[in-house]
Structure 1
Amino acid sequence: MESERLVQNALEKVMLDRTTVVIAHRLSTISTAHTIVVLNNGKVVEIGSHGELMAKGERGQYAMLVHAEISTQDCKSLNDRKEPEYTSETINFGFACEEDERDHVKAIQIGLKTHANIKSFNPPNLPQVPSIWKIMSLNKPEWPFAVIGSMGAILAGAEGPLFALGITHILTAFYSHNNAHIRSEIRMVSIIFIGAAIITVLVYVMQHYYYTLMGEKLTNRVRLLMFSAILKNEIAWFDRDENSSGSLALSLAADATLVRSAVADRMSTIIQNISLIVIAFVIAFVLSWRMAAVVLATFPLLISASMAEQLFLKGFGGDYALAYARATSVAREAITNIRTVAAFSAEEQVSSQFTHELQLPNKQAFRRGHISGIGYGLSQCFAFCSYALGLWYASQLIKNGTSTFGNIMKSFMVLLVTSLGVAETLALTPEIVKGTQALGSVFSILERNTSIDADDPRAETVEEIKGEIEFRNVSFKYPIRPDVPVLKDLSLHIASGKSLALVGQSGSGKSSIISLLMRFYDPTAGEILIDSKDIRSLNLKSLRTRIGLVQQEPALFSTTIYENIAYGKKGASEIDILKAAKAANAHGFISRMPEGYNTQVGERGAQLSGGQKQRVAIARAILKDPSILLLDEATSALDSTSEKIVQEGLNRLMEERTTIIVAHRLSTIRDASVIVVLREGRIREAGNHQELMRLPEGTYAHLIQVQQEAYETFS
């Protein structure tokens, strides 16, 4: 195609006067190489120039590969000539399109982006924080655990004031001149402390066990709900930058933990400290209400001092995640693309970029250190001023005989412990805020209404389809590119059991037709009919069970070959899976593997070759037994030998099925019922192979001529 021809021309210019090593599946790109080395199972089996290797004829490995490729020669020169346009009045196919191919996997740059480019990023608006009742509804099944845990938290909250009361009681007892009274009081308080210590263990176990249990169940539930909600969204939702696979995976991992932190962990601490405050105030006002009132007046200073102390020591309640985001991005991209970094000796450039991105967080850390030091000093100043005021007023009460020394000291110490508890609660505010923001993100996913609902109960369930397809005046634009038209008023009809081949340059709308038929997207205008029914009126999940899709890059899951094939049909038997593998020409290579069908394919099928992955994908499609088959560049990424094997499996799969084929290689579409040649969104030609060959000045005939020239070149 045009794109390949342009790239090849650029490569040939780069290769001039340079020592070049070329690895290629397409032998047409290496025929001019000075030396060609043929490898088989890691060994050199032939070496020489193109002419020398071709002279060996059928005895040579290279010559055999060349002859195998001639029949599958790429249609590279689609745009080399100007052809007459065919309108919808001439041919009853009315295509028009401008864009097609989309990059679902964005190119990762090495990290050499400029600072300005990074700063130009505009984050999306933060989701709305849900109400407290909506938050609590997530934990509704665990409310009994919350009640038991809260009882433990309330009892744990009583520990602080009672401990302060006991310690102060012992201190005041030492002022007595009666030794027996001192021993009696100390013995009594010590016994109480021992009993309280045993009870405290049980109380804290009850508090933390049940809140932890509640939190873990909440985390698990949130992740499951989020994952289910994510899978229900339409494909267009995943095309947005904020919904990339990395962002969603991070949200699944982090947001659920933050929700637990906000709802379960912090609730435990808050209830405990509320209990502490209530009990402390009751004790303080009973002992000396005047002293309690004065200390209460200084509470804002005491609380702010203690809270500031904790916040400053934590780094003012924040972290460096945002500050280090850019540096982390550079490091992640460099490590991900370490081969590219090493190949271009870009280590110093990446290190310089990483150092540059560390400057901002370093400055922030330096500034934060000064602020923390000053803030902590001021907080201590306020705290001791509050203590001084309380103690001064205590001396006045004792001097005037209004209250006793013991009651005043007990009241003061109990309230002092209370201020620390209140400060601890308020210091949790930043983490609670982060948790509630995460809740907003969680609920924005859980409550989103997808525009394409695969489980719409109002839709008609598809039991069986014949396979008749009609595109009626369909126009389409990708939601992320609303200003770029892809299809314009497109109309075509495919009879049941027939095949339609789409040929055209990249961006002509071929794969968009596949996506619309799978209903990954809905057209902006017009309708798509299957068996005379608009696919929007059909239950999407049941419809997709009747459609088979084989793509250029097969999607394999990180599990066994057996399970990857079994994805094609729910409840498939082992016999069905073996039959599908044999029909796809996959049983042979699978059986030769040490673990056979239990072989792990690795992430994205990394343990299998391209041809092996494609055959597994075809076996999965055969197992599905679809009425409609969609082949999107199913063999374009394979070498000639692998392509021949895969094509045999595809031919079996296509029998008696309505088939739409997107292809660059003409050899795979010669037998199609109708071949449509697209260019720049318009139909250049349409008809079967024989009809198009009768147009000597036509595009299709020209492509066949290119193959003949390739044959002469290799011969």
Structure 2
Amino acid sequence: MSGTLALVKPYVFLLTFDALLWLLIWLSVVSLGVTNSVGVTWLWCYRLVCWAILHHLALLINIEKGQQMVLVRWVAALCLLLPTYETVKTLIPFTLQNNCPVPDVGMVALCAAAASMACLLWEWVFHDKAKGDSGKQIKQQEARALLMRVVRYSYPDYLYLGAAFFFLTLTALGETYIPIYIGKVIDILSGTYDHDSFLSAIGLLGLFSLGSSLFGGLRGGMFMCSLCRMNKRIRHMLFQNLIRQEITFFEENKPGSLSSRLILDTDKMGRSVAMNVNVLLRSLVKTTGMLWLMLGLSWELTLLACVEMPLAVLLQNSYNMLSQDLSQQLQDCQAETQELAGEVIGAVRTVRSLHAEQQELRRYQEALDKMFNIKKRKGIYSAVHLLLRRTVTVGIKVLMLLVGRALIASQQLSMGSLLSFVLYQKDMATNMKHLVYIYGDMLNTVTSSVKVFQLLDRKPRMKEEGSLAPKQLEGKLAFHKVTFSYHSRQDVQALRNVTLEIAAERMTALVGLSGGGKSSCVSLLQRLYEPQGGEVLLDGEPLHHYEHRYLRSKMAVVSQNPVLFSGSVRYNIGYGLKGCSEEQVKEAAKRANAHDFICLLQDGYDTDVGECGDQLSAGQKQCIAIARALVRRPQILILDEATSSMDVNTQEAVQAVLNGAEGQTVLVIAHRLQTVERADHIIVMDNGEVVEQGTHQQLMEMEGQYYRLREKLFPED
């Protein structure tokens, strides 16, 4: 209690001192005989002098620096609010008088209350607290920085947003004047009827109603247009940056989570700017206009209405703080549930084959229960907040009606003016709630952009591509003392100081047991990963010295489990190539021994292969993948178990094509002796090291590991 009193004392002292200054100037004005009005310039001069005195006194008070700065801001609002209000009133058209009245006790009290309310609103919602406060203020500061960054992303749509803000202002002004003319119509009908005044009031009422509706529609359309444009732009930028990341990134982040960021979070980012700013600015403009008109109707009722605003702000701000944390938890749960569902549906064959349906159903049910509990807590908080908010609103309205009845009885207020004021007060409470709620919701929704910005700012952890793109490429590959470990298993070396050469325009085979390092070599040749030590060379130059596009045009890889995309067979064979003709597609399919079975499909080359090619057999997918590689006419062709699912006749046909390839560097990983023994050079790998190399005949004569592991390597032969 003593701490609260110590905090309130400076404000009471300064408020009392300001009241004495007002009393002094009022006595001076009365003694001079000026009792009706004074000039705005005179009022500015007087309140600036008051501000200088109170500001100096506030700095002399011995309190904490943070509290002292709050006191300084309150003094500025207290002293400058009234002259600012009178200045704005003189600038607005249709003002009845240009001279401001001499402030009475009610006007002074109203200014003090309004200044205190404005400072409370600023300190509770907008102002950053000291660094020593809890981490919530730091989070809010970071959220504001994110919000400003989202706003900067909307800069290309400044014409659309400018038009939207213009129509928004016209809409708010039109809606603000509607209650005034409703009150005038009521006064005309309840008093002495004047036909001309009635028609004028009805005409202006209809004009403002029609104009606000028209401009409101234009405002909404402009905001939605800018929202769609910004969402499209951010999603394109995010997707572009995602596909540039290294393979390790996709191993650490699951597809469901990335898809959620790409679709849901980018949409929330757009709404935080377009939709929420729309409501925020509309409420701000309407609140300012209605407050000015309410003061013109009755300062007593306005002062009473202002009591509700701090209470509403306090309740809304408290609810926002609780709701933001729960919304973040709910967002994470939704991403987790979506990721879990996508993973199970994508691997439904494996789940069914292992009879794990109940296990996956239980995991999904646990995720749903977690999401339900968070939503339930959020609903309880919302219900309690709504109950308290309604209680405050009803109590203030009852008091307002009692005061309004007394003002009507004393002929200080008409019945129509009371009706207008009640309508304003209802809209004022709604707009104040929007101002606080929307600001908190903007900070809440903008937190969804944290992950989006992290993904947008992320740089691939790969060496930057070079500019090397020679017209003639020999095709010689070499590993020079290469050491490599996967990011998920950094303590296990997949390759250990590997040095080998793959001769140009020759066929080289990599053999060895599983886990020997063969596929790791292929991954490094594709630049899917970077070695931790040594270099991978192409014609004596490190791979990262070449242009990425050039390197992909000169190298083609066919894996054991190739990936096909939903679309036609023709689309998959010519995937990634511009201007690939139908003749080139068919020629590649014939070389890969795929043309015959493609012609037997329902629509031939136009047959849809299904999602991931699930309408085709494993062998057919491998044939199409080989055709996709051959149509590029690569200088370097890498086959990683590319014929493992083919029948014997198809394998022999493809092998004949490979044997007849001229001018190509071919690297083969195979488990068939017929494929390996025809290679010009064989490299045997074990435990990440090169243990033997030579031709098939040389290795057999050495009777080393290749000879001993022959039955394990080639069981079918």
Which amino acid in the other structure matches residue 700 of structure 1? Y
Counterpart-to-counterpart distance in 2, 1:320 and 1:331: 16
Q: CA deviation at 1:688?
A: 0.9
What percentage of aligned pairs have identical amino acids?
27
Cα distance change, pair 617–434 in 1 and its aligned pair in 2 (3 A): farther
2:622/2:645 contact within 8 Å kept = no
Number of equivalenced pairs:
578
Counterpart-to-counterpart distance in 2, 1:636 and 1:620: 17
Which of residues 655, 667, 672 in structure 2 aligns to 1:660?
Answer: 667
Pairing 1:135–2:142 present: no
Deviation digits for residues 324-345 of structure 1, max 9, x if unmatched?
6766666666655555666666
1:548/1:629 contact within 8 Å kept = yes
1:496/1:658 contact within 8 Å kept = yes
Which amino acid in the other structure matches residue 379 of structure 1? R
Gap runs ≥5 in structure 1: 1-124
Deviation digits for residues 387-446 of structure 1, max 9, x if unmatched?
344445556666777666655654454243122112124323454234312333222222
Which amino acid in the other structure matches residue 518 of structure 2? K
Q: CA deviation at 1:346?
A: 5.7
Pairing 1:702–2:717 present: no
Which of residues 464, 468, 477 in structure 1 aligns to 2:485?
Answer: 477
- 1:384 alignment counterpart: 394
Counterpart-to-counterpart distance in 1, 2:446 and 2:461: 27
Counterpart-to-counterpart distance in 1, 2:638 and 2:574: 19
Which of residues 215, 219, 225 in structure 2 aligns to 1:203?
Answer: 215
Q: How does 1:40-119 map to 2 (within 5 A)?
A: none
Which amino acid in the other structure matches residue 375 of structure 1? H
Deviation digits for residues 442-469 of structure 1, max 9, x if unmatched?
2222232223377x4x532343310112
Which of residues 555, 558, 562 in structure 1 aligns to 2:570?
Answer: 562
Q: CA deviation at 1:369?
A: 5.0
Cα distance change, pair 510–372 in 1 and its aligned pair in 2 (3 A): same
- 1:284 alignment counterpart: 294
2:175/2:209 contact within 8 Å kept = no
Q: How does 1:240-639 map to 2 (within 5 A)?
A: 240=252, 242=253, 244-303=254-313, 322=332, 355=365, 357-364=367-374, 367=377, 370-394=380-404, 407=417, 410-411=420-421, 413-429=423-439, 431-452=441-462, 456=465, 459-567=467-575, 569-639=577-647
Cα distance change, pair 337–191 in 1 and its aligned pair in 2 (3 A): same
Q: CA deviation at 1:669?
A: 1.1
Counterpart-to-counterpart distance in 1, 2:546 and 2:324: 56
Deviation digits for residues 66-112 of structure 1, max 9, x if unmatched?
xxxxxxxxxxxxxxxxxxxxxxxxxxxxxxxxxxxxxxxxxxxxxxx
Counterpart-to-counterpart distance in 2, 1:188 and 1:663: 92
Q: CA deviation at 1:347?
A: 5.5
Pairing 1:213–2:225 present: yes
1:334/1:350 contact within 8 Å kept = yes
TM-score, structure 1 length as denominator? 0.72
1:165/1:413 contact within 8 Å kept = no
Which amino acid in the other structure matches residue 434 of structure 2? E
Deviation digits for residues 127-152 of structure 1, max 9, x if unmatched?
97554553233223321111111112
Counterpart-to-counterpart distance in 2, 1:708 and 1:310: 67
Q: CA deviation at 1:290?
A: 4.5
- 1:41 alignment counterpart: none
Q: CA deviation at 1:351?
A: 5.2
- 1:190 alignment counterpart: 202
Cα distance change, pair 349–153 in 1 and its aligned pair in 2 (3 A): same
SS of the residue corresponding to residue 248 of structure 2 reads helix
Pairing 1:154–2:169 present: yes
Cα distance change, pair 439–366 in 1 and its aligned pair in 2 (3 A): closer
Q: Is the deviation greater in 371-380 or in 228-237? A: 371-380
Deviation digits for residues 12-48 of structure 1, max 9, x if unmatched?
xxxxxxxxxxxxxxxxxxxxxxxxxxxxxxxxxxxxx
CA RMSD, Structure 1 to Structure 2 (Å) = 3.6
1:285/1:292 contact within 8 Å kept = yes
Cα distance change, pair 642–342 in 1 and its aligned pair in 2 (3 A): same
SS of the residue corresponding to residue 452 of structure 1 reads coil
Counterpart-to-counterpart distance in 1, 2:635 and 2:414: 94
Q: Is the deviation greater in 344-353 or in 245-254? A: 344-353
Q: CA deviation at 1:372?
A: 4.0
Q: CA deviation at 1:662?
A: 1.8
Q: Is the deviation greater in 367-376 or in 331-340? A: 331-340
Q: Is the deviation greater in 559-568 or in 302-311? A: 302-311
Counterpart-to-counterpart distance in 1, 2:624 and 2:358: 43
SS of the residue corresponding to residue 483 of structure 1 reads coil
Cα distance change, pair 127–541 in 1 and its aligned pair in 2 (3 A): farther
Deviation digits for residues 624-648 of structure 1, max 9, x if unmatched?
1111121111122334344334434
2:324/2:444 contact within 8 Å kept = no
Which of residues 161, 178, 190 in structure 2 aligns to 1:163?
Answer: 178
SS of the residue corresponding to residue 545 of structure 1 reads helix
TM-score, structure 2 length as denominator? 0.72
Which amino acid in the other structure matches residue 577 of structure 1? V
2:494/2:687 contact within 8 Å kept = no
Counterpart-to-counterpart distance in 2, 1:198 and 1:400: 36
1:315/1:372 contact within 8 Å kept = no
Which amino acid in the other structure matches residue 699 of structure 1? Q
Counterpart-to-counterpart distance in 2, 1:631 and 1:359: 47
Counterpart-to-counterpart distance in 2, 1:708 and 1:634: 15
1:161/1:276 contact within 8 Å kept = yes
- 1:684 alignment counterpart: 691
Counterpart-to-counterpart distance in 1, 2:531 and 2:329: 45
Counterpart-to-counterpart distance in 1, 2:637 and 2:407: 93
SS of the residue corresponding to residue 296 of structure 2 reads helix
Cα distance change, pair 618–370 in 1 and its aligned pair in 2 (3 A): closer
1:495/1:658 contact within 8 Å kept = yes
SS of the residue corresponding to residue 638 of structure 2 reads strand
SS of the residue corresponding to residue 557 of structure 1 reads coil
Cα distance change, pair 131–705 in 1 and its aligned pair in 2 (3 A): closer
Q: CA deviation at 1:194?
A: 2.6
SS of the residue corresponding to residue 489 of structure 2 reads coil
Which amino acid in the other structure matches residue 587 of structure 2? K
Deviation digits for residues 502-529 of structure 1, max 9, x if unmatched?
1122222111111111211111111121
Gap runs ≥5 in structure 2: 1-138
1:503/1:662 contact within 8 Å kept = yes
Q: CA deviation at 1:552?
A: 0.8
Q: Is the deviation greater in 423-432 or in 363-372? A: 363-372
Counterpart-to-counterpart distance in 2, 1:362 and 1:526: 52
2:147/2:443 contact within 8 Å kept = no
2:553/2:634 contact within 8 Å kept = yes
Where is the helix percentage greater, Structure 1 or Structure 2? 2
Deviation digits for residues 582-609 of structure 1, max 9, x if unmatched?
2222222223334222222221122222
Q: CA deviation at 1:210?
A: 1.1
SS of the residue corresponding to residue 701 of structure 1 reads helix
Q: Is the deviation greater in 259-268 or in 373-382? A: 373-382
Cα distance change, pair 516–146 in 1 and its aligned pair in 2 (3 A): same
Counterpart-to-counterpart distance in 2, 1:446 and 1:368: 31
Q: CA deviation at 1:280?
A: 0.9
- 1:114 alignment counterpart: none
